[in-house]
């Protein structure tokens, strides 16, 4: 302790960033998940899916591009339920093969 209060000593930096190989081992290819569209930017063509199961695996929401939406679907509204797979890219987990579920 010093004059400003408690002080950390012997601090070690621990990386929480997983490699692509480590992330790929977390999910079997073809595994499907159900989540809710948290947001979608029509202008930029991407959005995020909120899913408790994938968040417990990857620690974040799942990013997706509009090209992962079904043929003929160019956008999804916030709050829409979707079924999706996860593909590990160099930027992390990404939603693929997205199907809009009936509400």
Considering just the CA atoms, what is the radius of gyration of the chain in Å? 18
Q: Which two tokens stand for residue 34?
A: 């159900």
Confidence band for 29, pLDDT divided at 50, 70 and 90: confident
Q: For the segment 43-66, what is each residue's pLDDT rounded down to a tens digit?
A: 999 999 999 999 999 999 999 999
CA dihedral 25, 27, 29, 30 (to 10 degrees): 170
pTM for the structure as a whole: 0.78
For residue 65, count other CB atoms closer than 10 A to its CB: 14
User: What is d(CA 10, CA 17) in angstroms, rounded to the nearest whole number?
Assistant: 22
């Amino acid at each position: 302790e010093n004059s400003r209060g408690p002080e950390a000593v012997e601090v070690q930096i621990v990386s929480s960033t997983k490699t692509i190989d480590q992330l790929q081992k977390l999910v079997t290819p073809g595994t499907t998940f159900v989540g809710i569209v948290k947001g979608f930017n029509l202008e930029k063509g991407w959005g995020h899916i909120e899913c408790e199961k994938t968040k417990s695996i990857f620690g974040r929401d799942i990013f997706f591009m509009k090209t992962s939406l079904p043929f003929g679907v160019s956008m999804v509204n916030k709050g829409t339920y979707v079924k999706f797979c996860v593909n590990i890219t160099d930027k992390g987990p990404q939603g693929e093969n997205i199907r809009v579920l009936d509400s």
